[in-house]
């Protein structure tokens, strides 16, 4: 462990703007909503498929 490399303390050369961060978070929220809707639809389809024929 004595020959461990030292980490450089350099600031990143780029930063996300507030607008970019908000756009990214909104996109993630839309993706989560779409996934939740798809899962709900799949659950409903499986429930209908399991019902015995009358």
Q: Give 1-54 pLDDT, tens digit per residue.
A: 567 777 777 777 878 899 999 999 999 999 999 999 999 999 988 888 777 766
Report CA dihedral (45, 49, 52, 54) to the nearest 10 degrees. 70
- pTM attached to this predicted model: 0.61
Length of the chain equals 54
User: Looking at residue 31, what is its pLDDT?
Assistant: 98
């Amino acid at each position: 462990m004595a020959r461990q490399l030292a980490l450089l303390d350099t600031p990143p050369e780029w930063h996300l703007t507030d607008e970019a961060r908000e756009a990214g978070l909104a996109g993630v929220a839309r993706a989560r909503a779409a996934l939740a809707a798809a899962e709900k639809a799949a659950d409903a389809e499986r429930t209908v498929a399991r019902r015995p024929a009358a």
